[in-house]
Amino acid sequence: MEPWKRIEELSEILITHNRLYYEQDAPVISDFEYDALMNELIALEKEYPIYARPDSPTQKVGGAASGKFSKVKHRVVMQSLSNAFDKTEVEAFVNRVLQSAVSSGIPTRFVVEQKIDGLSVSLEYSNGILTRGLTRGDGEVGEDITHNIEAIPSIPKSINTRADYLNIRGEIYMPYSAFEQLNETAMKTGDKTFSNPRNAAAGSLRQLNSEITAKRGLRLFAFNIQAAVGIEFDTHEEGLNYLNQMGFTASPGYQMADTADQVWAAIEEIARDRDTLDYGIDGAVVKVDSLPLRLEMGQTSKAPRWALAFKYPPQEKTTLLDRIDVSVGRTGKLTPVAILKPVFIDGSTVSRATLNNEDYIREKDIRPGDEVIIRKAGDVIPEVVAVVSPDRENRAPAFVMPNICPVCGAPVHREQGESASRCTGPDCPAQLFKNIVHFVSKDALNIDGIGPSIIEILLENELIKSVADLFSLKDKKEELMLLDRMGEASVRNMLDAIESSKNATMNRILVALGIRHIGVVAALTLANAFNNIYEISDASIETLAKLPDFGYVTASSIAEYFSLPQTRNLLQSLEAHGLRLDKKPQISGSGALTGKSFVLTGTLPTMSREEASSRIRAQGGQILSSVSKKTDYVVAGEAAGSKRVKAESLGIPIITEEELLRLLENY
């Protein structure tokens, strides 16, 4: 892969994972895997700086503040740490520090601490009184969670200090014991359970009701004095001891070291003790003890030069694989699932683990009855990573993905070049929730007032069993009004919105059907090329593949969808309810932008892509899904990706939303 493409790909991947980890508290990969991706991006940007994005994740710490609490600028920037993954990197860091100590004439030792797997916070004390608690956020701006911090018993609300001001950094965590109790209670009451202690701690710390936070068993380990007024320390160890005297629990079990060998021995000892702790750690932190030397060494824009985090690989355990089941997700994807002999790992008991897909199972030759090694991807999702010395003679037969959906009986299809097998049934119960959410969405039928929570209520009460049943709800008005959150006004508004959606043009109906590879642009192309949806269903793959920006894969997906009996039944049902399958979109073909083609990329400041596309088409312009020499303009918003890069390489004009609006206003 070309360097600029890989830099773009890594940037998008890491931005997504930053959002999942810092803003949604829902990581899907481990810190170990994340750091490997980040290090690859750092190396590529160093070698090819011209391709580095202005919003590169290598230049930011964490994610944005969530907006749930007020945002506050940190008095001391909360930086992240540089990472190491092997002994050589640790030795290089220690030797670099020792050289700095010699050249500056400031002797130092090293402090090796546990790296707690929690949420980093900043605590501010004025004249001994806790005045503010902030999340890290992006390192420069965090969220004010003072009320929730005050609800955590292990955090002193006042301390007996002579300091006028203290800024203390620590890690909020949930002990394994508290996590198990929380999930047990949730299961008894029917509430949502948490996937791991870190997510549980994050959810508990960001409660709007601090009384809930107080009941969750959260604790704090303090690990640094960021700033102090009215008191001075010469070493980090002095600061830790002072924090303990003030009533904090400061970096439990930290060790002092003088050489690279002693530092490495401390890291190994922390790793050996990992399974005995009642809380999660994902590594060890090596810090310069001398505070004057820290000042001398300084920091980069993202991390201090005087500290290093050594990351442990994800925990792995061995257990027995009893059988392999197949689950069908809401997108129709079939996922093989390992049913395991229960085993405790990373704070929870695991009895099921993902096997990803058929290729993954075949590559690792995983079979029922095998002894397997499991770990948690992202410390969240259990996965099988290897088989332990299988008995080749007495093993079960190799796993084969079913060719019929285990839920609805529709054919299962796997496209060439893809690893996923999918159910092709449009009415598959396993996909129903997802299908209805998509069906009513803005780009589809745009039925206002029917969000995911309402859809769940309708499904739970068996008022709908397919997307077509939405149009029968007008006959169930009294039943609807008996449901929670469904008063007379909301029911009336919802039914009016459903009735209005019957005026949808055929391109919107095509989007609503959820055909793979058919989005807003492709649906509009189909609606302009055919007189009605039945004509599309009867078209050959060859005919479909000749449409602008279509190809064999897209054409095959359309043909396969319309070949199913369930599809024909659904179309007839929608038509019987009053939807027009032949209503053409009203698009001007004689506007001033006629003959001009546009590609939209990134997030525009004030318009959605759908709105921008509609306004361009209203002036006769064409929307393309990919950049080519035939493209006249690329409209680029925030986080514009590879399409912008390709446009630059082809010399295609790149315009902003403001420039697009000027184009439109001039006509």
- Between the alpha carbon of residue 555 and those of residues 187, 424, 507, 521, the distances in Å are 46, 15, 16, 14
* Structural tokens at position 17: 């994972």
H or E element: which one contains 337? strand 333-345
pLDDT score recorded for residue 629: 87
Closest CA to 533 of 502, 494, 567, 501: 567
Sign of CA dihedral 324, 329, 332, 335: negative
Cβ-contact 167, 123 below 8 angstroms: yes
* Structural tokens at position 162: 């002579």
Closest CA to 120 of 81, 177, 156: 81
Beta-ladder partners of 94: none
> Is 73 marked active-site?
no
Sign of CA dihedral 85, 91, 93, 94: positive
Cβ-contact 125, 163 below 8 angstroms: yes
Interatomic CA distance for residues 263 and 110, integer angstroms: 7
User: How many other β-carbons are positioned within 10 Å of the β-carbon of residue 397?
Assistant: 7
pLDDT score recorded for residue 65: 44
Distance of alpha carbon 587 from its chain centroid, rounded? Answer: 37
pLDDT score recorded for residue 596: 87
pLDDT score recorded for residue 208: 79
DSSP secondary structure of 47-74: H-GGG--TT-GGG--S----SSS-EEE-
Set 60, 115, 376, 643: catalytic member: 115
Q: What is the DSSP letter of 626?
A: S
Apex 62 CA angle, 59 and 64, nearest 5: 100
β-strand pairing of 119-126 with 165-173: antiparallel
Q: Which domains does the chain have, with CATH numbers?
A: 3-60 (1.10.287.610), 83-311 (3.30.470.30), 316-387 (2.40.50.140), 429-503 (1.10.150.20), 506-576 (1.10.150.20), 597-665 (3.40.50.10190)
- Crossing angle, helix 552-562 and helix 565-576, to 10 degrees? 70
H helix runs in 190-235, sequence order = 197-205, 210-214
User: How many other β-carbons are positioned within 10 Å of the β-carbon of residue 39?
Assistant: 14
Cβ-contact 106, 290 below 8 angstroms: yes
Q: What is the DSSP letter of 215?
A: T
Interatomic CA distance for residues 485 and 481, integer angstroms: 9
pLDDT score recorded for residue 21: 58
Tell me which residues of the chain have a pLDDT lower than 70: 1, 18-33, 50, 54-55, 59-68, 190-192, 330-331, 347, 377-380, 390-392, 426, 485, 586-592, 610, 618, 665-667
Q: What is the DSSP letter of 42?
A: H
Beta-carbon contacts of residue 20 (< 8 Å; ≥ 6 apart): 26, 27, 28
- 78-87 b/e with 16+ CB inside 10 Å = b? bbbbbbbbee
pLDDT score recorded for residue 73: 94
Counting DSSP H helices and E strands in the chain, the numbers are 24, 22
Sign of CA dihedral 514, 518, 521, 522: negative
- The reply to whether the predicted model has a pTM over 0.95 is no
- Between the alpha carbon of residue 247 and those of residues 155, 217, 243, the distances in Å are 8, 18, 7
- Between the alpha carbon of residue 47 and those of residues 36, 53, 159, 283, the distances in Å are 17, 14, 50, 29
Overall residue count recorded for the chain in this entry? 667
- For the stretch 550-585, pLDDT in tens is 888 889 889 988 988 888 899 999 999 999 999 988
Interatomic CA distance for residues 286 and 90, integer angstroms: 9
- Helix (H, G, I), strand (E, B), or coil: what is residue 475? helix
Closest CA to 598 of 537, 649, 549: 549
Closest CA to 223 of 69, 119, 334: 119
- 109-129 b/e with 16+ CB inside 10 Å = b? bbbbbbbbbbbbbbbbbeebe
Closest CA to 414 of 403, 426, 406, 398: 403
Beta-carbon contacts of residue 256 (< 8 Å; ≥ 6 apart): 109, 110, 111, 112, 237, 289
User: How many other β-carbons are positioned within 10 Å of the β-carbon of residue 28?
Assistant: 15
Interatomic CA distance for residues 648 and 646, integer angstroms: 5
How far does the chain reach from its first CA to its final CA, in angstroms?
Answer: 42
